[in-house]
Structure 1
Amino acid sequence: MTAALWVAVPAWAQPADLPMRVVSMNLCTDQLALALADPGQIVSLSHFATDPGMSVHWKQAEDYPLNYGRAEEISILRPDLVLADTWSNPDTIRMLKTLGIRVEQLPPSTSLPEIRDRITKMGALLGHPKRAAKMLADFDARLAAIKRPAKGLRAAVIGPSGYGYGPRTLEGQILALAGFDNVVSGPGLDFGGRLPLEDLVMDHPDLVIVGGSQGSMGTSRAQSVLDHPVLRDLPTQRGLRDARWTCGAPAMLGAVADLAALGRKIEQSKVSQ
């Protein structure tokens, strides 16, 4: 393959040989690689892959060596494909490419078109487009089967430091797919922002999803706001944000279904009052 052709056509679309030594250095590429690759194709996953609080495939990932995203440790694995995110360490990416190692960076996916595109690209990169197509068909069928509450319920997802997740975040997408209107919306809040608790109280949400699974990240002082007494007077739910909320991938539909079911219960309780 000539260099000119390599530049002209996206690498993921190339009819290249099936990669047999794949390294993933990102949690979300871990998840799709584990779901779509042949077991023998993967030689290493990111160190987050075995964290139950962050990875839905943590048990499966225990069968693989882990990496911390450093160029030195990845290069000695002699990969023929490295999977990364567009936010992955640029120094690592630069060094791997300098060494002649093929690196593919997949952008984060939050919206349904982005999620679908990432699945399709991952299937092409790994040489399994039919598996990706089946995954998409299953995804669409599961999504269509979810029973949502009627319109009108309002919710917010609040994290450390009182950060509220806007409609263009994965959290916001999960809310929307589950049938909730996002309290955190409006000018400048597409990706969210710090939400004063006083404003949250004044918004009278039907549901406030507080905190999230920390995995191996531990705790921080910023999380103390999530224990503020004012939240006790709001319809809060803790423990909903598990590993399924981490990546734009099929596993997120489990979170959507659970949230939609909760919405229907809230709806029924409002009717009976």
Structure 2
Amino acid sequence: MITRRRRPIHATMLAGGLVAGLVTPWTAAVAGAGVGAADGRPLPRVASATLCGDQYVLALADPEQIVALSPHATKPWLSLLADQAATYPRLRPSAEGYLHAGVDMVITNAWTDHATAALLERFGVTVARIPLEDDIDRIAALTRDIGRALGHPARGDALADTLLARIAAARAAAPGRDRVALYLRPGGGTAAEGAYVATLMDAVGLRNQATEAGLSGWSSWSLEQVIADPPDLLVTSFFDSPHAGMGQAFGDHPAFTTRAATIDRIEVPGAAWVCGGWILAEAVEALTEGLEALNAREAHP
């Protein structure tokens, strides 16, 4: 198994000297929420209701802007920036909790907490909804928009530019070499065309076994399929979770571990692609470096 963990990007280290990209409108709420240190207006006090929101808030906001993070923000197998999250309060998402904390903005998922979001907006709180997205250009545009909404457009541009540059480099190098690969989580989950994990697998030059089997988006794969028709490469994530072996389809199942021992495998930290945000820059880097190490090993067995 090739496991790769790297220090995550820190936006403030990347903010200078980068070329600004084209900003695509996100939502009317966020487009109208842009404030910043440059214009002298106060920066918004922000809370995150989700893991994806945590990654954006921690990377882009000033510490004094951060009112609260999600309940899972400090779990290292889920949050890329878990260490940074440890110093901030964590709230269970609720309109009452956020209003009591005096937030100006809440970042959440576009597909959850609709009632909470609507109530917050009634009380004048800006709600920034992050969509489930697999298109890299749109993810980059979203990242710029969030940076602008938090009052730090240069930081948003930095993360977006890094994401685009790493994807472009992966496509140019194509270290996957047309291997048939299967993405797996301990519960048997996989990703086919239409899921951002599959987008990154395509970017590095891998053939996606789940896509070729006719699946789309987030789907599932059986233990029997792995044993009967193993891929050239397993791309796995979340097997380091403390819950990975508890009643799961794969986890520590002896049939899987025996078969997997005969297949090349790259473990991408699950926290690097727990959502379709700027953190995918870390995921594609981990995947690229894992493939490069595998190529080097094959060249010099």
Q: Given the superposition, is the C-alpha separation of residues 41 and 183 from structure 1 closer, same or farther in structure 2, using an over 3 Å criterion? A: same
1:112 is aligned with what amino acid? I
Amino acid aligned to 2:194: R
Matched, 1:222 2:248: yes
Which amino acid in 2 is paired with 1:178? V
Aligned-pair distance for 1:232? 2.1
2:195 pairs with 1:190: no
Pairing partner for 2:136 from 101, 112, 131:
112
Query: Contact 2:250–2:256 (CA<8 Å) still a contact in 1?
Result: no
Paired residue type of 1:56: L
Structure with the larger helix share: 1
CA deviation after TM superposition for structure 1 residue 186, in Å: 4.4
Query: Closer, same or farther in 2 for the Cα pair 1:150/1:237, shift >3 Å?
Result: closer
Q: Which residue of 2 aligns with 1:158?
A: 184
1:251 aligns with 2:269: no
Structure 1 pair 15–255 and aligned structure 2 pair: CA distance change class (3 A): closer
What SS does the corresponding residue of 2:68 show, helix, strand or coil? Answer: strand
Structure 1 residue aligned with 2:49 = 25
Give secondary structure in 1 for the equivalent of 2:120.
helix
Change (3 A) 1:68 1:138: same
**2:280 is equivalent to residue 262 of structure 1:** no
Quote the residue 2:30 is aligned against.
12
**1:39 offset after TM fit, Å?**
1.8
* CA–CA separation in structure 1 for the residues paired with 2:183 and 2:166: 23
Conservation of the 8 A alpha-carbon contact between 2:192 and 2:216: yes
- Counterparts of 1:63 and 1:75 in 2: how far apart (Å)? 21
- Is the CA contact (8 Å cut-off) linking 2:239 and 2:251 kept in structure 1? no
> 1:256 is aligned with what amino acid?
V
Per-residue Cα deviation, 1:48-70 (whole angstroms, up to 9, x for no partner): 11111111111111221111112
What is the Cα deviation at residue 168 of structure 1? 1.9
Q: Identify if the C-alpha distance between structure 1 residues 241 and 227 changes in structure 2 by more than 3 Å, giving closer, same or farther.
A: farther
Question: SS at 1:76's partner residue?
Answer: helix
Q: Residue 206 of structure 1: which of 223, 232, 238 is its match?
A: 232
Question: TM-score, normalised on structure 1?
Answer: 0.83
Match of 2:221, as an amino acid?
A: L
**In structure 1, how many angstroms separate the alpha carbons of the residues matched to 2:236 and 2:92?**
29
Are 2:159 and 1:141 aligned?
no
Indicate the residue corresponding to 2:78 in structure 1: 54
- Contact map agreement 1:51 1:215 (CA 8 A) in 2: no
The alpha carbon displacement at 1:251 in A equals 3.3
AA at the equivalent of 2:178: G
Q: CA-to-partner distance for each residue in 1:194-248, whole Å, 9 max, x for gaps?
A: 2233433454411113451565767641345662415523415374333112123
The residue that corresponds to 1:6 in the other structure is: none
User: CA–CA distance in 2 between the matches of 1:106 and 1:203?
Assistant: 37
Q: Which residue of 1 aligns with 2:11?
A: none
Percent identity of the aligned residues?
26
> 2:219 corresponds to which letter in structure 1?
G
Unpaired segments ≥5 residues, structure 2: 1-26, 37-42
Q: CA 1:188 to 1:101, structure 2 compared with 1: closer, same or farther past 3 Å?
A: farther
Q: Which residue of the other structure, out of 74, 96, 116, is the alignment partner of 2:120?
A: 96
Aligned partners of 2:165, 2:291: CA distance in 1, in Å? 21
Q: Give the corresponding residue for 1:5.
A: none
Q: Which has the higher contact order (CA 8 A, sep 6+)?
A: 2
RMSD: 2.9
Rounded to whole Å, the distance in 2 between the matches of 1:150 and 1:211 is 17
TM-score by length of 2: 0.76
Amino acid across the alignment from 2:204: A
Q: How many residues align?
A: 265
